[in-house]
Structure 1
């Protein structure tokens, strides 16, 4: 017979939670909502293995338990963890078991600890598979592919003992000056929602709970400044910044992380309007709200008192802290009457419920045996990289590179650097492991008798052009020059970091980061040295192919007279060089489509496609639109779109269903994977001023030369709904244009009337 109800696996989770909660002391409750210790401080190398630290034992003893332990297996420049002292894939499960066994066997109630791990684009741990960054994922427009990849990396995390994955998914790239651009799926709420749902479904299929970052509106900070204020109105928040969170909640996300930014004058972690009024009451979300690292401590600026700061966050709806010094003092807050113990009980109950749902009370340990090698996630990483390569411009002649191309000069600071290819928040890569730079990929893909020459030509940043003459000489002797330009989020071990792990980089800093958290840019142009290299190589008359390996859309000049082709590869991951080479040589067709608009200059921002439709003509000295529009991407063939056809041209809010069809034909000589996009544009009616157009669907079609096919969109309330005056979604009467096409700037439309209800 089971001693206590909470130990009975057959009992409903709410009853188990209630029973366990009733047995807990105030101190034990406070321990369950705290996550203040860095996981890499819990262990140390010892006699060829690992042992627990005194600091970890003291932390467990202080609260007779531990709610969650962050980043046990995290490795990167900020944590200082590497192969010399960290946890490898072979050790992961064993160290997790060592930690868990101490918590379960040395506390009164034996409540297991949650292991939360970073999974920004793969598990951020030694030997973890690295995926292309989210911006590259968004460029695939293929949620099913990402769902499979998310399942693969989540399975790796789970095999090493992890329970909860922290994943950036909710931020939208509304200002490309923001250093965290690479962590966004793009600028569009619908696209981000599709990938957020795929992420949650994939991770859950591997038994991993997901906490989605960051709730809410962090991508709208003023001037692209990290952790700065937002000037969001409630309508902008609901129309743009909540769609991905809503999709993640529907898909079964275990939690959301309250963002650093403020909304209506309050940091999100203290906003009862967001965390309770919207998330709990309107959306009926029963999962966790976790604070971002040290976010609760920032409230001391408002409260003047750390105890009151912790109470403020708890009262707002925050359940679990991260690294802060305020939540550990919640017992004082209860004693002082700043927060009711029943409010604390509610937060504790959510933490316990997740532990029960994950089965930790029945199976707290993982096997200590090394996990079997997994090739799946690595193959999927390369598939994402290949599908994300976006052909921005092409003269129709140079690409794909012909077999007769024998002399190829591969130039530029990003041509031969894995570190500059894998993005921010990435664990150290195992020395000697097989990664593929763009130079490596081109050498492997080129004909055996081809001559591949290489020179950086310039540094990533800075004015040293001493390498320019040598690079120009190589280009002049070549049949084609491939210039691999762009940016870097690579962190060096000697870099400086903020308390939350963000890089501290200044214009005089030599670390060379041009993107990543804490690396915001006022000027989005490519660095001067790279532009000088481009101009000098183009002046030789050799055909130039520009490949941009980048974490944000750099503002691009008009390259029509300079480059024969321009490709964007974002940060394509460790095997991205092979993906880029496959597209260059035609072994793969360019499939990527822009998840974000590419500006002409930072001076014209914002340039996102779905602005309010006020008919703005543009600045006197620059057009209103970007260099390349959202959804844009060329192929090695030509595609013809017929006008869209609607099964009904008149619907009502009560019966808004119809079908939209568009015939697409490959009119060229090569196959194509075409992304047919559906947009909605309001012409009249509605309760607020409309946007230019809004993405509401997409279909990917594979077409052989000469083949035609129909893209079919099932239209319903989700497609036609807009945000009403009371900030809810509803189908509102009026006249719409349903538009289809290859990009947001290349659509054809059919009118639809939504008649008022009888």
Structure 2
């Protein structure tokens, strides 16, 4: 394809000793640390500063040529000339409404690697020492690129309660990233959903630190692999865990707002997932936007250096979030000192900000030491050597197959049955189904924020999947209303279809879809909701209600007397009254989620999901997370204080009986029996209740869980390790947090070897 290769340009004349072919850093057999030291000793201050800058938006680095190839832009040339190289480049493969990249102008699966190769060749040529760049990509729920496999969002991952399944999905995403020439994956994992009004709730694994920690470990294992000799395999990618720390605790559920976090709350709720990720070997973390005790995370030395590096022993990379370093100028007075503060606090790599471009001046003015700068540069270079970029600058991994089926498998595991009065699964007496609601016949709103444009025909809607899986049924459709607004004009037609059917399937929910008309902030967050947006970064809600017409549609369909099953496609728990006999949440299940939902409705697949967050009765109740402090938790005069559905809740099409738990040392055993007539999966959940503590305890804390699938009548003994349990506690085994409140407790006194 024309336009892919550029004429070679002469290397710039730069002060410094010439590079010898026998330089240690060029020797792939030399230890990584020795290569880093050798290369660092040859670099000028200007070159060092360049390695810490990630200034460009990747989509500004190239353009399509008339013959369908790519050419590099003057913006990229200017950026590489600025520091005689390029430390990292963000979003070369990114495609969405913010970047403006789509199938007409961006790289797809067939040419993404060629574009990465073209850019990398240019960067190496412009670097006096031949230092390659890091290609950093968003992988929030699959690779955010054209033709990348879209997975269900993190909240759906949390609903699976299945770390092994997620590990496989993460490995697939890493392989896709590397096959396209990308190197580093940015993945949300550390945010804990404490207020579902927050638009980024969809990016959280849930409200519980133990659940988030288990899934973060799975993420790191899946993406990074074993890393023999410290090196990444060609199909594995270092992961940047976002966001460190406490970003889910902002006041009022408002994005990037202030937080009111004490050090103990931070440690008990918001740090365990990060600790689990660090122990699993995560290559990097991203400093969050929020502040902790008045100091933004990107300038918080106590957090990034005192805790992360010195106490936890983390030796990986710390990246700032987009433009976060420049925000520190509100404290320091200017961007030069803001960059110095971030670097001295522990940030190694910037993201789009100006502050780090002035680090040479900051060093020369004595605002930060060159030794501190060298330590950060060494961490960047170490990651490049671990990736083998000095030897393998061109992509060598092949694109993995089976992405769509894997995405559908995760979506199946996430569908959560919240209520069922015998309506589901669809019975033999049902011959006509009315499939209604604004989410019924579209895939456009099945994926979350940070999703690339999909090719026409990708995925399946609930309507199409039902028709395909049950061709013998008479399936009628009317949308009834749209996701937002109060237009009721379509409801009469929906009522007519419901009244003439044996079953109504009402598919409601929200949307994180960004359209080309969306207004974006400088960091990619939505400035204001447009079209049907009700969730995602920058789209926070004061309440948790659906669009007004959706409630009118629900009331009208239920009033027909036709048995009704409501399916929620959503990125946060929305408020839905208990008026329909059956209620399922599919979260944002991805493009193929319609088929997963249809399989559960028809009984071809068992509902296996469990709630990763508590579902409130109203936003006025918040917070309703289960692991609150063990105080006299009274109700309201006008409302119950309890959630409508508790953390861990989820029904099956069969029933289970739990035996008496048995404690043996640091393990708990329980017998579980499938007492119904169908195969099913239950999630055995182990909670602890602290009896003697140094500070006021929480009511309950999840400390172990395991999913178990059983045939009808089958009984199995499940053994769960009680890792990290210390002090005098009660152990309770149950199927949800609400059931654990009344379950019989079993006392255990364990060595106090895990201080908080």
- Specify the TM-score bucket, using the shorter chain as the normaliser: over 0.9
Which of 476, 479, 492 is the equivalent residue of 2:499? Answer: 476
By how many angstroms is 1:435 displaced?
A: 1.1
**1:500 match:** 523
The aligned runs of 1:457-606 (5 Å cut-off) are: 457-506=480-529, 509=530, 511-557=531-577, 559=578, 562-606=579-623
Structure 1 residue 128 displacement after superposition:
0.3
Matched, 1:678 2:707: no
3-state secondary structure, aligned to 1:211: strand
The answer to whether 1:746 aligns with 2:714 is no
Which one of 430, 437, 456 corresponds to residue 479 of structure 2? 456
When normalised by structure 1's length, the TM-score is: 0.94
Kindly state the Cα deviation for residue 31 of structure 1 after the two structures are TM-superposed: 0.3
Q: Determine helix, strand or coil for the equivalent of 1:421.
A: coil
Say whether residues 1:225 and 2:251 are aligned partners. Answer: no
1: CA distance, partners of 2:499 / 2:748: 60
Using a 3 Å threshold, how does the CA distance of structure 1 residues 140 and 755 change in structure 2: closer, same or farther? closer
Establish whether residue 642 from structure 1 lines up as the match of residue 659 from structure 2. Answer: yes
Where does residue 238 of structure 1 map in the other structure?
Answer: 267
Query: What is the CA-CA distance between 1:32 and the residue it aligns to?
Result: 0.1
TM-superposed deviation, 1:556? 2.9
**How big is the shift at 1:522?**
0.6
What's the offset of the Cα at 1:123? 0.3
- What is the CA distance between 1:751 and its match in structure 2? 2.4
User: Aligned partners of 2:428 and 2:350: how far apart in 1?
Assistant: 58
Q: What is the rounded CA distance, in whole Å, between the counterparts of 2:390 and 2:187 in structure 1?
A: 25
| Partner Cα separation in structure 2 for residue 638 and residue 442 of structure 1 | 26
**Is 1:84 the equivalent of 2:104?**
yes
> What is the correspondence of 1:608-757 to structure 2 with a 5 Å cutoff?
608-647=625-664, 657-683=665-691, 685-716=692-723, 718=724, 720=725, 731-732=726-727, 734=728, 736-747=729-740, 748-754=743-749
Q: What is aligned with 1:725?
A: none
Secondary structure of 2:382's counterpart equals: helix
Q: Secondary structure at the match of 2:30?
A: coil
Q: Which residue of 2 aligns with 1:723?
A: none
* Offset at residue 252 of structure 1 (A): 1.3
Structure 2 residue 333 is matched with structure 1 residue 307: no
Q: d(CA) in 1 for partners of 2:418 and 2:401?
A: 31
Task: Give the corresponding residue for 1:403.
Answer: 428
Q: Which residue of 1 aligns with 2:50?
A: 31
In structure 1, how many angstroms separate the alpha carbons of the residues matched to 2:289 and 2:698?
28
Matched, 1:434 2:458: yes
**Conserved in 2, the CA contact under 8 Å of 1:644 and 1:750?**
no
- 1:700 Cα offset (Å): 1.3
Question: 1:469–1:334: structure 2 CA closer, same or farther, 3 Å change rule?
Answer: same
What do residues 243-265 of structure 1 show as CA deviations (whole Å, max 9, x unaligned)? Answer: 11111111111100000001111
Partners of 2:548 and 2:503 lie apart in 1 by: 23
- Work out whether residues 646 and 750 of structure 1, in 8 Å CA contact, stay in contact via their aligned partners in 2: no
Task: Quote how far apart the aligned CAs of 1:659 are.
Answer: 2.5
Q: CA deviation at 1:2?
A: 4.8
Q: CA deviation at 1:701?
A: 1.3
Matched, 1:291 2:320: yes
Bigger mean CA offset, 150-159 vs 202-211: 202-211
Contact 1:211 1:256 in 2 (8 A): yes
Q: Deviations over 1:379-406 (max 9, x none)?
A: 11100000100000010x2111023321
- 2:153 counterpart (122, 133, 140): 133
Task: Give the conservation status (yes or no) of the 8 Å contact 2:179–2:398.
Answer: no
1:76 Cα shift?
A: 0.3
Once the two structures are TM-superposed, the CA of residue 375 in structure 1 deviates from its matched residue by: 3.1
* Equivalent residue number for residue 438 of structure 2: 413
Consecutive unaligned residues in structure 1, runs of 5 or more: 648-656, 721-730
Matches within 5 A, 1:331-350: 331-350=360-379
Q: 1:303 to 1:372 in 2, by over 3 A?
A: closer
Q: How many pairs were matched up? A: 721
The aligned counterpart of 2:467 is 443
Alpha-carbon distance change, 481 to 755 in structure 1, aligned in 2, over 3 angstroms: closer
Aligned to 1:384: 410
| 1:29-178 correspondence to structure 2 within 5 Å | 29-46=48-65, 47-178=67-198
Of residues 344-353 and 202-211 in structure 1, the stretch that sits farther from structure 2 once superposed is 202-211
C-alpha distance in structure 2 between counterparts of 1:709 and 1:596, whole Å: 28
Aligned position for 1:728: none
Counterparts of 2:298 and 2:398, CA distance in 1: 40
The separation in 1 between residues aligned to 2:363 and 2:143, in whole angstroms, is 37
Q: Structure 1 434/305 Cα, relative in aligned 2: closer, same or farther at 3 Å?
A: closer
1:373: Cα distance to partner?
5.8
- Structure 2, unaligned stretches of length 5 or more? 1-19, 226-234
Which sits farther off after the overlay, 518-527 or 310-319? 518-527
SS, match of residue 257 in structure 2 = coil
CA shift for structure 1 position 220:
0.4
Question: SS at the partner of 1:15?
Answer: helix
Tell me the alpha carbon deviations over residues 640-666 of structure 1, each in whole angstroms, 9 at most, x when there is no partner. 11221223xxxxxxxxx4331111111
Residue in structure 2 matched with residue 607 of structure 1 by the alignment: 624
Q: Write out per-residue CA displacement over residues 203-242 of structure 1, whole angstroms, 9 at most, x where no aligned residue.
A: 1133201000000000000010000011000000000000
Counterpart of 1:653?
Answer: none
Q: Distance in 1 between matches of 2:458 and 2:356?
A: 44
Q: CA deviation at 1:756?
A: 7.9
Contact 1:169–1:214 (8 Å) recurs in 2: yes
Please say if residues 613 and 689 of structure 1, whose CA atoms lie closer than 8 Å, have aligned partners that are also in contact: yes
Contact residue 643 and residue 750 of structure 1 kept, 8 A: no
Deviation at 1:30, TM superposition (A): 0.6
Report the Cα offset of residue 605 of structure 1.
0.3
Shift of 1:455: 1.1
SS of aligned partner of 1:485: strand
RMSD over aligned CA atoms reads 1.3
